Structure 1
Amino acid sequence: MASESGNFLQYHELGIIEILIAVSFFTFLSLGEYISSKIIRANIIGSIVVGIIYGVPLANILPSAWQETFLALGYIGLILIIFEGGLTARLDLLRANFLLSLCGATTGVILPISFSYLLLYLGFGYGAVETFIIGAALSATSLGTTFAVISGASKEVDLSQTRVGAVLVSAAVIDDVTGLVMLSVIHDLGSLSGGGSANLGWLIGRPVLASALMAILTPVLSKWVFAPFFRRYIERRFAKYDHFSNIILMTLVLSAFVSIAAYAGTSVLFGAFLAGSFLTYLPSKHPEGPFVVLSREQGEKEKSKSPTFVHTFECYLLDALQYVLGPLFFASIGFAIPFLDLWTGDAIWRGVVYTLVMLVGKLLVGTWVLAWQFFSTPKDDEKQLITSNSRSGEKNSDSRMSGSLEPALLLGFAMVARGEIGLLIVQIGYNDTSYVSEAGFLTAIWAILLNTIIGPVVVGLLVKYFGKRISKGAWGLVENNQ
C-alpha cells in the first residue's frame, strides 16, 4: 500500500496466512522436484504440478500479485538457464554438427505444422489460420526445458560434452528462433483480424534478419575484434579480482545481448544463449592464459590465474537458479495452464490424439542421427569397431548403426517438450486474434502440457539406462580441443 504522499511504499509485515502460504509453496516446489526426479527422472514436472495447484488453474492459493511476480522471476530464471547453456556449450561441436542440427530443426518445424493440417484442418475441421497458429505453437521446442534436461542428466553423463547434445542444443535454438518469428506473425494477425493494417513482409523479415545478423556477427566480431582486445588488454587484469570482475562483465554482456535481441525484434532467449557463447570464446586458450585452470580453487588461489566464467556462474548464480528461479519458471508454466477447462470429453480425446501426433512429429527429428550415421564415412575408431563386429559375424552396415538408436531416441524425445514458447504462441493466438477457438486452444494446451511431461520423462529414463553407452559411442563424449 502506497503512502498518502505517494513517494514511497509503506512497509508492513506479512500476515501469518501469507507467511504460511509462501513457506508451503516453496517447500512443495522443492519436494515436488525431489519426488518427480526420483520417480520419473524429470524434476521439472513437480514444479509444473505445484504451479497448477497453487496458481489460478486450480486452487488459486497464491495472491495474483505474487503469481505475476513469480512469473517475472521465473522468466529471469529461464534467461539464466539458457545463458548457462551458452556458457557450457561446446562451440567446436556446435560448428561441426551445424548442418545436421539445421536438418533436424527444419524437420522439427515442418512436420508438426504439416501433421497439424492433416489432423486439425482435414480431420477436426478447424480453420486454416487456426491450424497454422496451433501448429506453430507445437513446432517450437522449449529451450528452458532442453537445458534443464541437459543439466539434470549431468550426474549420469554430461550431455553438453557429447555430439548428440550439441546437435540437440543447436536444433532447439533454431526451433526457438523460428517459433519466435512465427509468434511475431501471429501477434500481427490480431491487428489484421481487427481491421488493422501491417506490412507482413517486414513483420516476417525483421526477426529473421535480426536473428541471422546476430548469429553471424557474434562469432565474427568475437574472433576478430573482442577476443583479441580482451586477451591483450583485459584478461590479465581480470585475474587480480577473480569472481568480482567476471560477474560484472557477465552482467554487462548478458544485458547487452538481450537488449539488442529485444530491440532488433528477435528472441531475448536467443540473445541470452549468444551472450554465454560470446563469453566462452573471449579468454585465451593458451595453457599460460589466466582463464586456463584445472579447477575453480586454482583460479581463486593463484594470483596469475582467474576462475572461468562458468566457475563464477556456479559461485554466484547456480544456487539461486537451481533452488529458486528455475523452479519458479516451471511453476509459472503451471500458472498458465487452464487446468479445469481441459476435462471435457471432446477436449480430452482430441488433445490426446493430437499429443500423440505431435510427439511423433518431433520424435522423427531423431531419424537424422540414423541417416547421418548410415551415410557418413566412418572414422578410424569406428572402422575398428566395424572390423571387430564383422569378425563376430555382423554385417558392416548393422555394426555401424548399432550405437545410433539410443542417441536418435534421445534427440527425438528431448525435442518433444514445448513448454514456454508453445504456451506463449497459442495464448497470443487465442487472446489477441479471432482465429483460435476455445476447442482449438484446449487441444493445443493438452498437446503442449503432455509433450512437456513425456519428453523429459523419457529422456531421463534413456539417460539412466543407456547414458554410459551413449557417452562411449560415436555420438557420445568428444575430447575438447578448443
Structure 2
Amino acid sequence: MAGNTVSLPYEEPGIALILVQASFVLLLNVVNSILDRLVYCGLLGQVLIGIAWGSPGAKWLSTRVEEVVVQLGYLGLILLVYEGGLSTSFTSLKANLLLSSAVALTGIGFPIALSYSLQGLVGATALQAFAAGAALCSTSLGTTFTVLNSSGLSNTRLGVVLSSAAMMDDVVGLVMVQVISNLGAGNISPVTIVRPVLVSIAFAAIVPLICYFTVKPLTLVLNSYREAHPSSKLHTVLCHGQTAFVIHTLLLIALVTGSSFAGTSNLFAAYIAGAVISWWDTELPHPTCPTEDKLEKCNEGTVNTTTGGDGIISKPSTDDALGSENRTITPSAPQNEKDGNPAGRHTSSQESETGPAIYEHYYQQAVSRILQPFFFASIGFSIPITRMFSGSIIWRGIVYAILMTFGKMVCGLWLVRIPVSSKSNRLRGLGKKLRLRSIPHIWGKTAKIKPAKSTTSQEGADDTTVTARTNTVPECRPSTSTHSTPYPPKPFSIHPPLIMSLAMTARGEIGFLISAVAEANGVFSSSSTSTFSKESDIFLIVTWAIVLCTMIGPLGVGLLVRRVKALEEKKEREMEGGGRDVLGVWGVQ
C-alpha cells in the first residue's frame, strides 16, 4: 500500500513531538548566543545539544528527523563556506598565498606523520595509520568560518590566511575520501586517485581564467552600454537587488553541481563561487545606480539622467529649463579613497547589490538560526558517545588527540615573528645610511637632504618642498611607518600564532566523514576489536581525537579572542598605543 501512495497524508503532530523539536531548535540558538557572548564558540553547545537530543543520547529525535537535520545542516555548511568566499580579500589573498600554502602543507604533513604512532599505540598497520592521519589532517571549514565570523576576524590578514589554509586542507581531505574508499574496496588505480586532485586543480585554475578573459571583458562592454543608456530597461533591471540575488544563486548552484559531477569537493566550489562574486564586486568598475525610489521614474522617462566620463550617473537640476547649471551627484573622492573604493566602484546606492549585502538580506537569518545550528548538531549525531567510554579506548584516544593537537599547533610557527634586538636594529639602520650616502644620485640631490628639525623649525616653510624632501629621502619618513622596515616597532605577541594554531585544530565534519568511510570499507576493522562495541578500536580512538580537537580548537580561539578584545579596550581607555591593533600586522584588514 505504501508503494502506491501518490501523496503524503497530512497528520497533525503530537504535542510531545512538537515540544521535542521546538526545544531542539530553541536551545540550539539560546546556547549558541550565550556561549558566543562568553567565549565566542557557541558551536560547541550546538554539538552537545545534538549529542543529547540525537541517537548518541536520549534519542528524542527519530532517525528520519536526524537524516533531515543532517541534509539541511550540510546545506548550511555550503552556505557558510560560500559566505567565507564572499569575505575574501584578493589583495590579502595574493599577498599571503605562499604563507597560506605553507600553513596548509604543515597542517597536512604533521598529522599524517604523527598518526604512525598508532602502530605502537594500538597495533595498527601502515594503511590504517595513513587512513587515521587522513581523517585528522583536515580542518573543519564550518567551524573555521563560524569562529572567524563570531570573533570579527574574517576580513583580517589572519582570517584570510586561516580560511585559505583551511580550504586547502579540506580539499586534500576530500581527496583522501576517494583514496580511502578505493583502498578499502581494493580498487586502486591511478585514475581514481589522481582524478579528484586534477579536478580540484582545474577548478582553481580554470575559473580565474574564465573570470579574467571572459567575465571581465563582458562586464566592461556591458558597463559601456549602461553608461551610454542610463535609462534603458537593462540598466534598470541590473540595478535591482533581486537580479543580483538570482545571478549569485545560479552561479553557486552551477559551480556546486559541476564540481559534484566532476569529482571534486562541492565545498571547494562553494568557496570559489563566493570568491568570484567578491572579485567581481571589488576588482571591476560598475556604473552607479539610481536610488530605489527613482527606478520607476527612470522607467517612465520622467527623470533625465546623464552619465559623466567617470561612469557616475548624474541628474540635471529641475531648473535646467530656465538655463541654470546642471547639478551632478558624485561622491567625494577623499571619502572613496578612505573607504578603499576607487572612483567608479560601488557607492552607497549600490551596496545592496554586493555579494555580502545579498547574502545578509536573503540568506543570513535562515543560515544563522536554522541551517548552521543543524549542521553542528548533526556532528553531535555522529559521535558514538556510549561506546567510547572503555578504559583502554579513553587513554589511547586522549594520547592520540594530544598528538593531533600538536600536529596542527605547529602551523602557528609560520606566524611567529622573532623579536630583533636593539643592537641588530642599530646595525641595520647604520647599513641603510651608509648605503644611501654612497649613491646619493639615486635619491636626488644631496643639497636637499636636510635634518628633520630644520624643516619643522622654519615657520614659513613651503609645504611642497617639505613633501618633496620627505618623499625623496627615505630616512626622513616617520619611524612608525609599516613600510620603513620589515620589522614594525610593535611589541612581540603570540596571539596571532596561537589563534591560527587553535583554529586549525578543529577537525569536524570532514574528519568524521573520512573515518566513517574508512570504517565502512573495512580499513580499520582488521585490528583488534573491542569486546564492548561493534566499532573497531582504531575508529573509536580516531573519533576521540576528532571530538576533543573539535572542542579544544574553538574554545581556545574564543578565549584568545576574548583576551585580545580586552587588551584592545584597555589600550583604548588608557590611550596607550592608540590606533595599533593587539594582533599587529595580522589584524589589518
Q: TM-score, normalised by structure 2?
A: 0.71
SS at match of 1:83: helix
C-alpha separation in 2, matches of 1:81 and 1:382: 43
C-alpha separation in 2, matches of 1:284 and 1:398: 30
CA shift for structure 1 position 373 = 9.1
CA RMSD of aligned residues (A): 3.1
CA shift for structure 1 position 70 = 0.6
CA shift for structure 1 position 301 = 8.9
Is 1:179 the equivalent of 2:173?
yes
Alignment-derived partner of residue 162 in structure 1: 156
1:381-420 to structure 2, matched below 5 A, reads 384-385=479-480, 402-420=491-509
Alignment-derived partner of residue 145 in structure 2: 147
Change (3 A) 1:398 1:313: closer
C-alpha separation in 2, matches of 1:239 and 1:143: 38
CA shift for structure 1 position 33 = 1.1
C-alpha separation in 2, matches of 1:310 and 1:127: 48
C-alpha separation in 2, matches of 1:137 and 1:253: 30
Change (3 A) 1:5 1:373: farther
Alignment-derived partner of residue 561 in structure 2: 463
CA shift for structure 1 position 380 = 9.9
CA shift for structure 1 position 433 = 2.2
* Alignment-mate amino acid for residue 309 of structure 1: G
SS at match of 1:415: helix
Alignment-derived partner of residue 229 in structure 1: 218
Change (3 A) 1:280 1:61: same
* Alignment-mate amino acid for residue 265 of structure 1: G
CA shift for structure 1 position 103 = 0.7
268-277 vs 13-22, which deviates more? 13-22
Number of aligned residues: 454
Alignment-derived partner of residue 586 in structure 2: 475
Is 1:261 the equivalent of 2:259?
yes
CA shift for structure 1 position 401 = 8.2
Preserved contact between residue 370 and residue 401 of structure 1 (Cα < 8 Å): no
Preserved contact between residue 227 and residue 283 of structure 1 (Cα < 8 Å): no
The superposition leaves residues 108-137 of structure 1 with CA deviations (integer Å, 9 ceiling, x where unpaired) of 0000011111x2113332121111111110
Alignment-derived partner of residue 395 in structure 2: 349
C-alpha separation in 2, matches of 1:252 and 1:232: 22
The structure 2 residue matched to 1:215, chosen from 204, 207, 215, is 204
Preserved contact between residue 351 and residue 357 of structure 2 (Cα < 8 Å): no
SS at match of 2:357: helix
CA shift for structure 1 position 40 = 3.4
* Alignment-mate amino acid for residue 359 of structure 1: T
* Alignment-mate amino acid for residue 338 of structure 1: P
104-113 vs 215-224, which deviates more? 215-224
CA shift for structure 1 position 190 = 2.3
The superposition leaves residues 229-267 of structure 1 with CA deviations (integer Å, 9 ceiling, x where unpaired) of 134327954664522111111111011111121111111
CA shift for structure 1 position 305 = 7.3
1:32-51 to structure 2, matched below 5 A, reads 32-51=31-50
Preserved contact between residue 363 and residue 416 of structure 1 (Cα < 8 Å): yes
C-alpha separation in 2, matches of 1:380 and 1:214: 46
* Alignment-mate amino acid for residue 191 of structure 1: A
* Alignment-mate amino acid for residue 159 of structure 2: G
SS at match of 2:113: helix
The superposition leaves residues 67-91 of structure 1 with CA deviations (integer Å, 9 ceiling, x where unpaired) of 0001000000000000000011111
Alignment-derived partner of residue 443 in structure 1: 541
More helix by share: 1
The superposition leaves residues 182-204 of structure 1 with CA deviations (integer Å, 9 ceiling, x where unpaired) of 11100112211xxxx341x1122
1:14-163 to structure 2, matched below 5 A, reads 14-117=13-116, 119-154=117-152, 159-163=153-157
Preserved contact between residue 90 and residue 160 of structure 1 (Cα < 8 Å): no
Change (3 A) 1:91 1:344: same
Instruction: Give the percent of matched residue pairs that are identical in Structure 1 and Structure 2.
Output: 37
Change (3 A) 1:160 1:244: same
Preserved contact between residue 288 and residue 347 of structure 2 (Cα < 8 Å): no
CA shift for structure 1 position 27 = 1.4
CA shift for structure 1 position 403 = 3.8
Alignment-derived partner of residue 463 in structure 2: none
The superposition leaves residues 17-56 of structure 1 with CA deviations (integer Å, 9 ceiling, x where unpaired) of 1111111111111122123224433110010000001111
C-alpha separation in 2, matches of 1:139 and 1:90: 26
* Alignment-mate amino acid for residue 142 of structure 2: G
Gaps of 5+ in 1: 388-395
C-alpha separation in 1, matches of 2:268 and 2:69: 22
4-13 vs 129-138, which deviates more? 4-13
C-alpha separation in 2, matches of 1:445 and 1:342: 8
State the structure with more CA Rg. Answer: 2
Preserved contact between residue 362 and residue 416 of structure 1 (Cα < 8 Å): yes
CA shift for structure 1 position 354 = 0.9
Change (3 A) 1:239 1:160: farther
C-alpha separation in 2, matches of 1:178 and 1:400: 38
Alignment-derived partner of residue 393 in structure 1: none
C-alpha separation in 1, matches of 2:66 and 2:21: 11
Alignment-derived partner of residue 190 in structure 1: 184
Preserved contact between residue 231 and residue 284 of structure 1 (Cα < 8 Å): no
Preserved contact between residue 418 and residue 452 of structure 1 (Cα < 8 Å): yes
The structure 2 residue matched to 1:310, chosen from 356, 361, 378, is 356
1:242-391 to structure 2, matched below 5 A, reads 242-283=240-281, 285=283, 289-290=287-288, 302=349, 307-370=353-416, 384-385=479-480
C-alpha separation in 1, matches of 2:130 and 2:191: 19
* Alignment-mate amino acid for residue 363 of structure 1: M
C-alpha separation in 2, matches of 1:134 and 1:64: 28
Preserved contact between residue 238 and residue 306 of structure 1 (Cα < 8 Å): no
Change (3 A) 1:398 1:125: farther
C-alpha separation in 1, matches of 2:13 and 2:251: 37
* Alignment-mate amino acid for residue 479 of structure 2: Q
C-alpha separation in 1, matches of 2:386 and 2:86: 40
Change (3 A) 1:339 1:160: same
C-alpha separation in 1, matches of 2:475 and 2:4: 77
SS at match of 1:329: helix
* Alignment-mate amino acid for residue 211 of structure 1: S
Gaps of 5+ in 2: 227-233, 290-311, 313-330, 340-345, 421-427, 430-473, 528-535, 569-579
SS at match of 1:281: helix
C-alpha separation in 1, matches of 2:4 and 2:106: 59
